[in-house]
């Protein structure tokens, strides 16, 4: 499996023989999966991306990006996805290694608080805005490339976490962070399945 952020990338992956394509929408947390240049070609929202990728390839499509609960999963299935991939929703599970302040920031995040930034690693990734992102804005032209910048910011990120300060931590997050439930992963999956079934039932009886 591999991720695509537009239909062209999805077709390219299929031609290279992958078994399933993950359609990663613009809402997704963490590093952008875009491998075509420029990166802006991968700025397609999940709602628009998934059906276009479904139409573009004949292999199964897994929807990713901004899915936070059963409503999002049911919507992705309605768009033609065979499955979904959630990342941000699992960051606040007890099994995750996320710092307590990072968890709190995710639980309190508003829908408009994430940014796409190259400033931590040299590659675009979506995370919650903090002091580091604000102060690095405007210097994009002189950021070193990945993975040099990633190596350079490593000690800064570690020191920030050790000092219990989110100013210089990479707070990777999708746009649905506040929908996180903080449940153990197995319970979260059970709840997501139940929610999805109930949305699908409601829709089936509504027509
Ligand atoms: C902490 C974190 C790190 C990630 N790192 C990568 C990465 O290095 N490469 C990549 O293609 N996707 C990465 N992703 C994106 C996921 O593969 C997935 O597309 C995304 O989490 C789905 O959107 P959501 O976070 O809104 O659920 C990352 C996601 C998170 C939350």
- Computed over every residue of the chain, the mean pLDDT equals 97
Q: What is the pLDDT of residue 161?
A: 97
Every domain of the chain with CATH number 3.20.20.70 lies at 2-91+179-206
- Is it the case that residue 203 has pLDDT exceeding 80? yes
Ligand 1 in contact with 153 (CB < 6 A)?
A: no
What does the pLDDT average to over 176-197?
Answer: 97
The answer to whether residues 82 and 119 touch, using CB atoms and an 8 Å cutoff, is: no
pLDDT band for position 66 (cuts 50, 70, 90) = very high
Q: pLDDT for 49-61, tens place per residue? A: 999 999 999 999 9
Mutational pocket test of ligand 1: of 87, 114, 122, the residue with most ligand atoms within 8 Å of the beta carbon: 87
CA dihedral angle for residue 63, residue 112, residue 98, residue 26, rounded to 10 degrees: 30
Ligand 1 in contact with 2 (CB < 6 A)?
A: no
Percent of the chain with pLDDT over 70: 100
d(CA 83, CA 5): 16
Evaluate the CA torsion angle 22, 27, 33, 36 in order and state its sign.
positive
Q: Pick 2-91+179-206's CATH classification: 3.40.190.10, 3.60.20.10, 3.20.20.70, 1.10.3720.10.
A: 3.20.20.70
pLDDT band for position 206 (cuts 50, 70, 90) = confident
Q: Which atom of ligand 1 is nearest to the CA of 172?
A: 1
d(CA 183, CA 103): 12
* Residue 179: partners with Cβ closer than 8 Å, 6 or more residues away: 68, 69, 89
d(CA 45, CA 147): 27
Q: Which atom of ligand 1 is nearest to the CA of 176?
A: 26
Ligand 1 in contact with 85 (CB < 6 A)?
A: yes
- Is it the case that residue 207 has pLDDT exceeding 80? no
Assigned token pair, 180? 């996180």
CA 154 vs. chain centroid, Å, equals 21
Ligand 1 in contact with 57 (CB < 6 A)?
A: no
Nearest CA to ligand 1 atom 12: 31
- Is it the case that residue 25 has pLDDT exceeding 80? yes
pLDDT band for position 116 (cuts 50, 70, 90) = very high
What does the pLDDT average to over 64-73?
Answer: 98
Q: pLDDT for 132-180, tens place per residue? A: 999 999 999 999 999 999 999 999 999 999 999 999 999 999 999 999 9
Ligand 1 in contact with 87 (CB < 6 A)?
A: yes
Nearest CA to ligand 1 atom 3: 30
pLDDT band for position 37 (cuts 50, 70, 90) = confident
């Amino acid at each position: 499996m591999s991720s695509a952020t537009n239909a062209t990338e999805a077709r390219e992956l299929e031609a290279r023989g992958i078994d399933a394509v993950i359609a990663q929408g613009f809402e997704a947390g963490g590093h952008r999966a875009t491998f075509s240049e420029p990166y802006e070609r991968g700025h397609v929202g999940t709602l628009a991306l998934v059906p276009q990728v479904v139409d573009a390839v004949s292999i199964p499509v897994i929807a990713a990006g901004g899915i936070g609960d059963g409503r999002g999963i049911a919507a992705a299935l309605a768009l033609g996805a065979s499955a979904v991939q959630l990342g941000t929703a699992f960051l606040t599970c007890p099994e995750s290694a996320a710092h307590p302040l990072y968890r709190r920031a995710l639980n309190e995040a508003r829908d408009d608080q994430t940014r796409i930034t190259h400033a931590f690693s040299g590659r675009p990734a979506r995370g919650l805005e903090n002091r580091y992102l604000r102060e690095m804005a405007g210097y994009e032209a002189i950021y070193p490339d990945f993975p040099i910048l990633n190596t350079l910011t490593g000690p800064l990120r570690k020191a920030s976490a050790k000092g219990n300060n989110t100013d210089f931590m990479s707070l990777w997050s999708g746009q649905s962070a506040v929908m996180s439930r903080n449940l153990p992963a197995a319970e979260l999956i059970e709840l997501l399945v139940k929610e999805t079934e109930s949305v699908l039932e409601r829709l089936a009886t509504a027509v």
